[in-house]
Amino acid sequence: MTSPGAQPAETTSGGEVADAGRCLPVGPGYEVTEYDTSGDNTPDVRKLFKIMGEGSLSRLVLVCREADLNGDRRKDIVRLYDDEGRPLREEVDRDFDGSIDEITHFTEGRIALREIDMSGNGMIDTKIFYESGEPFRAERDMKGQSTTAEWQPDRWEFYAEGRTVRVGTDLNGDGKVDRWDRDEERLRNSALNEVDAVRQ
């Protein structure tokens, strides 16, 4: 289970580990493995496995993985998995201030939604929605009006083939689009391609 170049620092079965991370056993039937990937003799990656099945049919399934990305001994990224080993949720502290600023949700192992705190004020202000693993729409709270109970976006962005093709903006705060901006060049090229296809 050790990846190339990673040295296992400690392996326990239902035991205690050094810091108060998220990937901790909640009872029997779990195994924890820690690794030092940076070579400073301090574990920076922890994996939590759940023992599934019994006897000769038992197997270990990864249910949680967390890592310290900047060497400050605090875990900056944690990913949770379902009982099939597919990712469910990932939380990341990208600016290393001790607060989570990006949460990614997965459906059947593929990215479905990414929630981001772009402003660094501790509140989600951007949501990016995915389809078949690709972003197709984003909602943004540019004015910071959202609360933990109510999401209040005032900008909507739509994507196609990795480009922004349409942006809607709520100018008066009523939750409805007042102005649409479009990628006119893309629309023009798309129309020309359709005309060419008809001529052929």
| Helix or strand (DSSP H, E) at 190 | helix 184-199
The pLDDT score that the predictor gives to residue 187 is 53
Tokens at 57, concatenated: 């049919």
Q: How far is CA 173 from the centre of its chain?
A: 29
Tokens at 145, concatenated: 């009006």
- What is the pLDDT tens value at each position of the chain, 200 positions in all? 333 334 444 444 444 444 557 898 888 899 999 999 988 888 999 999 999 888 888 899 999 999 999 988 889 999 999 988 899 999 999 999 888 999 999 999 999 999 999 998 889 999 999 999 899 999 999 999 999 899 999 999 999 988 999 999 999 989 899 999 997 665 555 544 544 554 55
Pairing relationship of beta strands 59-67 and 45-52 according to DSSP bridges: antiparallel
Tokens at 28, concatenated: 């029997």
* pTM for this prediction: 0.77
Q: How far apart are CA 70 and CA 63, in angstroms?
A: 23
Q: How far apart are CA 83 and CA 23, in angstroms?
A: 15
pLDDT of 153-176, one tens digit each? 999 999 998 899 999 999 998 989
The pLDDT score that the predictor gives to residue 111 is 96
Q: Where are the domains of the chain?
A: 120-200
Q: How far is CA 50 from the centre of its chain?
A: 22
